[in-house]
Amino acid sequence: MRERKKYSSVRSTLKKLDGTMVPDGDWYCTLYHNEKLDGYLVGTGRVIKTVLGSWYEPENLRGISIAVKAMQNLQPNIRESVQWQLEQLTQTDVDKFCQELGLEAMDLQEFKDSWKDFSVNGLTALLLLGEEVA
């Protein structure tokens, strides 16, 4: 997963968000790689939900840009975000993940049960697995 283009921008943004206040509702954060727009990290409350590519039209994003305004008293919760990502997975996602990493195929529930990485790295891998690409 580290070879994927957005890995470093997603991971560095997640690290910067650690301890940052986020709103209760919808929010987004701009991703940059080498000072160039790389996409958007999108969440609701303490749950980080998806990564959108730089092609995405920012006027279609809902909620508050936390890069500009972070006035609530919630912090993103990496563990809750990983759990939410796991709940959203499909068998197609699991097949893609196993294929990209050269792992033996497994069924969806087996994959969910075996997931142990509730860190920024684990969240980054799951977010990029479901990344919406142009």
Task: Evaluate whether residue 106 is within a structural domain.
Answer: yes
Q: At what angle do helices 120-129 and 91-101 cross, to 10 degrees?
A: 110
Task: Evaluate whether residue 1 is within a structural domain.
Answer: no
Q: Which domain holds residue 83?
A: 7-129
Task: Evaluate whether residue 134 is within a structural domain.
Answer: no
Q: Which pLDDT tens digit goes with each residue over 78-91?
A: 899 999 999 999 99
The residue with greater pLDDT, 129 or 26, is: 26
Task: Evaluate whether residue 41 is within a structural domain.
Answer: yes
Over 70: is that where the pLDDT of 67 sits?
no
pLDDT for position 110: 95
pLDDT for position 90: 92
The tally of domains found in the chain comes to 1
pTM as predicted:
0.60
Task: Evaluate whether residue 2 is within a structural domain.
Answer: no
Give the dihedral of Cα atoms 98, 105, 47, 58; nearest 10 deg: 50
